[in-house]
Amino acid sequence: MTPAPGGQIASRMKFVMSRDGSVMDSAPQISVVDDDEGIRLALDGLLRSAGHSARTFASAEEALADPHIEDSNCVITDLQMGRIDGLEFARRLRGRSQAMPILLMTAYPTANIERRARETDILFLSKPFEANEMLHVVHQMLQTGGR
């Protein structure tokens, strides 16, 4: 924030109300769920550099326990995680928020996993991926709801 003429503080941030009435930044809210801290940090930095607001979770359980997960504009999740994998996490999240755009990423893609993701309108991205590729998919999810 920078001082405006007359000594007032000017801010470029815009805010909106979440479902529970709390105030949120209006930048697209993207939740990242991955048990690999390096991936979480890298995606957090990438998304923020593109003007998005990012929240990270170390597990599907942690994300599902968050009361604001459904306020996300989209979710990026890894496939292979602890007790709840990415497909099961997506299924549970869709049970709470049917229209939630979800991107499933994995370093171990198979035709079966890709098919299962697509059958449930989940986008799929193989690791490793380029930053531009991830941002393109995120933009697509935000514009079209992931479809």
Give pLDDT tens digits for 56-74. Answer: 999 999 999 999 999 999 9
For residue 9, tell me if it sits in a domain. Answer: no
CB 43 within 8 A of CB 75: no
Reported as a pLDDT band with limits 50, 70 and 90, residue 7 is very low
CA distance 36 to 78: 9
Q: Is 0.95 topped by the overall pTM?
A: no
* pLDDT number for residue 120: 86
- Classify 94 in phi/psi space as left (phi over 0), alpha (psi -120 to 50) or beta: alpha
Counted domains in the chain: 1
2: three-class secondary structure by DSSP: strand
Q: Tell me, what's the pLDDT at 12?
A: 32
Residue 41 lies in a domain: yes
CATH number at residue 138: 3.40.50.2300
**What pairs with residue 23 in β-bridges?**
17
Q: Indicate whether 10 belongs to any domain.
A: no
Yes or no: say if 101 and 146 are a contact pair by the CB < 8 Å rule: yes
Is 14 within the bounds of a domain?
no
Give the range of the structural domain holding residue 56, as residue numbers without chain letter: 22-144
- In a domain, residue 13? The reply is no
The phi, psi pair for 122, rounded to 5°, reads -105, 130
Per-residue pLDDT band at 25 (split at 50, 70, 90):
low
Residue 99 belongs to a domain: yes
Q: Which residue has the tokens 């105030």?
A: 23
Does residue 55 lie within any of the structural domains?
Answer: yes
Q: Rounded to an integer, what distance in angstroms lies between the CA atom of residue 118 and that of residue 124?
A: 8
8 A C-beta contact, residue 64 and residue 86: no
The overall average pLDDT reported for the chain is 85
Percent of the chain scored above 70 by pLDDT?
A: 82
Q: Is residue 78 part of a domain?
A: yes
Q: What's 135's DSSP letter?
A: H
